[in-house]
Amino acid sequence: MSRFTLNERPVSIALDPQTPLLHAIRDAANLTGTKYGCGTGDCGACMVLVDGEALRSCLINLAEVEGRFVTTIEGLSRDRSHPVQQALVAQQAIQCGFCTPGIAIAAAALLAKNADPGEEEIAAAIPNLCRCGVYPRLLEAVRQAGRVTRRQEIISAAPAPGIAAQDAARSVPAITPVPNGDAAAE
């Protein structure tokens, strides 16, 4: 049995202590925001915070997080209000989104230590791979999140949780009303 704190809640996971943390998070705790990209420590899609440090959860096992504090993307904020989350959306630094949770975790860890990082620091702290190539926008997003963290800027259009009304409307096919209400007759 492995015991640690996951997103501020104590958890006990009955898996082999050698199980990668990534699989425990996704399959035992059902927190699927943390992504399985390469499984070999190269992509960063699986990053989580362990005692505030961004680590690749595919490379550490349950035994290594015993008694520690683990935060996944779901625990970064409850309402997407973390400056990094807001800035990633504001800068449209998300395309397919697969790399985004890991990037958000790495950026949050960086800004917690230094809210005004330079370009080289950002590149070093966020080595995550993005197959969609969001890097220029990512750089802007981290800079903006830094300004928000330093209280020099407010992002007013914070994303609402869930699907925006206009996006939800787009996903519903247009329905042409049938005069007598008998759709089967069409």
**Interface with ligand FES (CB under 6 A):** 36-39, 41-46, 56, 58, 94-99, 130-132, 134
Residue closer to ligand FES (CB basis): 127 or 153: 127
The rounded distance, in Å, linking the Cα atoms of 87 and 130 is 17
Whichever of 88 and 111 has its CB closer to ligand FES, that residue is: 88
The position carrying tokens 């007759």 is 185
Question: Closest separation between CB of residue 56 and ligand FES, Å?
Answer: 4
CB atoms within 10 A of CB 77: 15
Residue 131 CB, shortest distance to ligand FES, in Å, is 4
The answer for residues whose C-beta is within 8 angstroms of residue 144's C-beta and 6 or more apart is 83, 87, 90, 91, 153, 155
Task: Compare residues 59 and 158 and give the one whose CB is closer to ligand FES.
Answer: 59
Query: Least distance from C-beta 41 to ligand FES, angstroms?
Result: 5
Nearer to ligand FES (CB atom), residue 49 or residue 134: 134
CB atoms within 10 A of CB 153: 16
